[in-house]
Amino acid sequence: MRKVLVLNGPNLGRLGRRQPEIYGHTTHEQLAELCRTWGTGFDLDVELRQTNHEGELLDWLNAAADDETPVVLNAAAWTHYSWAIFDACAQLTAPLVEVHISDPSQRPETFRHTSVVTEHAVAVVAGMGIDGYRRALEIIAGTPGS
């Protein structure tokens, strides 16, 4: 089984409680279990992490670059402005799939229409709800070298 990191940024630890009309009712703990189950079906060993601290996410991305580990990334709010996240994603050599529960391009706040991650991703999955993570893992599983 190939290891894959599923990395979630700020406020995603509050899934199920935070704006369920946008992000649904699945908790982060339930998402972690779903990702592990989906990953097993794709012959992937999934480790899901969440942080509200940008430096911690950067450390995880840097380690993924060093270890050539594929990444599914929902950088949340950092998606739209963090040049540090941009630089960390630029280092990745294994596949990176950007995922968003909602579709940022369809959100009314125009700042959400920009992503610093997309340029480095092999694919973007947005607006599929929690099932977007399943699709992102499927893409990783089908990417050469994974």
What class has domain 2-142?
alpha beta
pLDDT of residue 107: 65
- Specify binding-site residues: 74, 80, 87, 101-102, 112
**Residue in the block written with tokens 């050599």:** 93
Q: For 90-138, what is each residue's pLDDT tens digit?
A: 999 999 999 999 787 766 677 565 799 999 999 999 999 999 999 999 9
Q: How confident is the model at residue 22, as a pLDDT? A: 74
What are the extents of the domains in the chain?
2-142
Q: Which two tokens stand for residue 123?
A: 């694919």
For residue range 6-61, list pLDDT tens digits in order: 999 999 999 888 877 777 789 999 999 999 999 999 999 999 999 999 999 999 99
Structure confidence at residue 112 (pLDDT): 62
SS3 124: strand
**Sequence ranges of the binding site for substrate:** 74, 80, 87, 101-102, 112
Alpha helices in the chain (DSSP H): 20-23, 28-41, 54-67, 83-90, 131-142
Catalytic residue among 25, 53, 100, 113: 100
Torsion of CA 17, 21, 25, 29, to 10 degrees: -60
Q: In this predicted structure, what is the pLDDT of residue 27?
A: 94
pLDDT at 109: 73
Q: Active-site residue 100, yes or no?
A: yes
- The answer to whether 28 is a known catalytic residue is no
Specify the pLDDT at position 144.
63
